[in-house]
Amino acid sequence: MLNFVKMKLDTLVQGIIHKNRRYLSRAITLVESTHTAHKQMAGELNSTLTGMKKLSHSKRIGITGPPGVGKSSFIEAFGLFLLKQNYTVAVVAIDPSSKISHGSILGDKVRMYNLSIHPHAFVRPVPSGSMLGGVSLNTSHILTILDYAGFDFIFVETVGVGQSETMVYDLTDMFIHLYNPLSGDEIQGIKRGIMELSDVFLITKCDGNFIHEALLTENKLRNALSFLRPTYKEWTTKILRTSSVENINFDTLLETIHHFFSIESILIQSKERRHKLLEQQAVDGIKNTLMDILISDECTRKEYTEILTNLKNGKISDYKAARNLLDSYFKHSIPPKDMQQNEKA
Ligand SMILES: Nc1nc2c(ncn2[C@@H]2O[C@H](COP(=O)(O)OP(=O)(O)O)[C@@H](O)[C@H]2O)c(=O)[nH]1
Ligand SMILES: [Mg+2]
């Protein structure tokens, strides 16, 4: 077991605000831990950080697009480009292939190797796991840590499929959609929702053999976008051709990003989106904890199975099921120790 509990919260907070990679890693591992003591400390860390006055504002940018389009390659190349201009860069890569083993992350960091070893960068794979809700809460706390560490840019790489896109959209300020140069014919097929959420489209791999196709794809994409409703009235979706091998259009992209982040009303909307998600997470957190408390009692847990069966078979209503569960809990259990103490206090 990781020996975090002995570590002082202050030490951890100081490590975070000095962008110390060892402490950043520890803090994130703490957030991802399912151990009760770690969860409690992660909660304390989150409230300590959010209670502090923040001096900088990190630009949170979501990077989406299908697997293989070049998301990791782009983040590495653009990240190195930013580092050369004295910016600091953090990356959270939601990675279906990474696993947690004995508290350490086994991810394919190798693809962002040059970025991950740079002293002013921090790269962290987050296992996507099976519980999307858990990932979303963890990712949100990880981003808070990186915000308080004061990185200039925080990139979040999505897995490119499924619900994780909207979660990343809600947690970031700007959403960049990477597009394959050869997928001009598939434009009609891509999900309208995700297209509408994108603030910038980058056509990737515009080098070597793909230059001509990339141009055709760009025209088709531009045409498709003209039929879509823009996310913000203050922003027209931009399309840029790029290459992570030749750093094509990186200057223009950086200008575009700065322009986007200079529009105050857009940032207000992205904050509102984030707050809504955090509120939903808080509600879910309370619901889950309540359920955990109820079924922590063995007798109630047994009755719970029966209640579920009855509910599934339509014999009882949701309301009746909840009522029975509560009755069973109060009949069988005594309040958990920490609750009794709080009541006395
Ligand atoms: N020619 C070329 N190949 C690229 C470029 N970006 C990525 N690739 C290649 O595309 C493949 C998938 O890239 P990766 O970054 O792992 O995609 P991801 O799954 O979206 O993260 C790799 O083999 C990369 O080398 C690019 O700008 N130009
Ligand atoms: Mg990748």
- Domains of the chain with CATH codes: 56-266 (3.40.50.300), 278-344 (1.10.287)
Ligand 1 centre to CA of 69 (Å) is 6
Q: Is the dihedral of CA 12, 15, 17, 19 positive or negative?
A: negative
| Pocket of ligand 1, beta carbon within 6 A | 65, 67-73, 111, 204-205, 207-208, 243-245
pLDDT of residue 19: 93
**pLDDT for res 61:** 98
The pLDDT of residue 56: 66
Ligand in nearest proximity to the CA of 203 = 1
pTM, two decimal places: 0.84
| Token pair recorded at residue 32 | 């991802």
Q: What is the dihedral of CA 289, 293, 298, 303, to 10 degrees?
A: -70
Ligand 1 pocket: which of 69, 72, 73 to mutate (most atoms within 8 A of CB)? 73
pLDDT of res. 1? 47
Nearest to 264 by CA among 231, 234, 229: 234
Query: Among all ligands shown, which has an atom nearest to the Cα of 98?
Result: 2
* Positions in the chain short of pLDDT 50: 1, 102-104, 109-110, 130-131, 345
**In contact, 178 and 204? CB cutoff 8 Å:** yes
What confidence score (pLDDT) does residue 333 get?
Answer: 77
* End-to-end Cα, the chain, rounded Å: 32
Q: What is the dihedral of CA 5, 7, 13, 15, to 10 degrees?
A: -130
Report the pLDDT value the prediction gives residue 242, as an integer from 0 to 100: 96
DSSP 188: G
- Token reading at 335: 């309040």
Ligand 2 centre distance from Cα of residue 96 (Å) = 10
| Protein residue whose Cα sits closest to atom 6 of ligand 1 | 70
Query: From residue 114, how far is each of 105, 117, 159, 241 by CA, in Å?
Result: 18, 6, 21, 23
